[in-house]
Amino acid sequence: MKQQAGKNGIFWTRARTAFACALFAATALVASNCKSDDTANLAANSAKPGASANAPKITVTASPGGQPARPPQPQQLDTVPAVAWDTQIQAVDGAPFRLSDFKDKVVVLDLWATWCGPCRLEVPHLVELQNEYRAKGVEVIGLTTEDPESDEEKVRDFAKEFKINYKLGWSPREVSLALMNGNTSIPQTFVIAPGGRIITKFRGFSPQVPTMIRAAIDKASEKAGD
């Protein structure tokens, strides 16, 4: 497609064109995913004392005619929720960290689990992204929704087998729920601009996702330079 200049004589950059195509493709993407309701971390924490008090509640009121009104749909996340941004996260290896520790970087954040088939397909691509973008100041972070008490050895073995070279942490229940925003399928992959603004979010995995992540990283880096 021939690119044309706008009124200001500014041509679309390659990153902008790729990102626009990626967003269009994302609307039609049928990606495979798993339901994280079954993950040990979410299920186990739900059963712990006091957990039910923290679970999100929806009040359904009656509409005219006696039919229950549809519960309000969650709004799309524009920025990383404060609870996810500021909560201390236990690293699989190394010191605890917060997402806000990387506020000056572009972050690729992945919610995943070792038992999830699509997650396993995505991990090698995240390893490639870390190798490709590390020198450009991009941070790849994986947060597993599994239980650090029962699944520690499993996650460590997985990280070794897949040669994971990026930061791994155990996602606290409140962080997972805030980021999932009402949809508990995994993997969920976010591209986050410096300061916490979410450029885009992908649920599930397909062969097109890595290309779209790269386009979103370029978009986030471009915005950071504005």
Note the pLDDT of residue 74.
59
Instruction: Say what the pLDDT of residue 32 is.
Output: 73
Residue with tokens 């997650």: 119
Does residue 93 lie within any of the structural domains?
yes
Whether 112 is covered by a domain: the verdict is yes
- Adjacent-strand bridge partners of 132: none
Residue 54 belongs to some domain of the structure: no
CA dist., res. 216 & res. 190, Å (int): 9
The b/e string for 177-206 (b: 16+ C-beta within 10 A; e otherwise) is bbbbeeebbbbbbbbbbbebebbbbbbbbb
The CATH code of the domain that includes 117 is 3.40.30.10
Q: In this structure, is residue 57 part of a structural domain? A: no
What's the confidence (pLDDT) of residue 8?
Answer: 44
Between CA 99 and CA 222, with CA 112 as vertex, the angle to 5 degrees is 50
pLDDT value for 31: 58
> pLDDT tens track of the chain, all 226 residues?
444 444 444 444 455 544 444 444 443 344 577 865 544 445 433 334 344 333 333 223 333 444 444 545 557 889 999 999 999 999 999 899 999 999 999 999 999 999 999 999 999 999 999 999 999 999 999 999 999 999 999 999 999 999 999 999 999 999 999 999 999 999 999 999 999 999 999 999 999 999 999 999 999 988 665 5
Provide the token pair at 145: 């929704």
Which domain range does residue 180 map to?
32-46+75-224
**Is residue 62 in a domain?**
no
Alpha helices in 55-190 (DSSP H): 82-86, 117-133, 152-161, 173-180
Q: Do β-strands 188-192 and 185-186 pair in parallel, antiparallel, or remain unpaired?
A: unpaired
Let me know if residue 106 belongs to a domain. Answer: yes
What pLDDT sits at residue 94?
A: 87
Q: What local confidence, expressed as pLDDT, does residue 63 receive? A: 35
Residue 52 lies in a domain: no
CA angle 148, 172, 41 (to 5 degrees): 50
Q: Is residue 16 domain-resident?
A: no
* CB of 178 closer than 8 Å to CB of 139: no
Give the count of domains, the chain: 1
Tokens 């070279």, residue located: 165
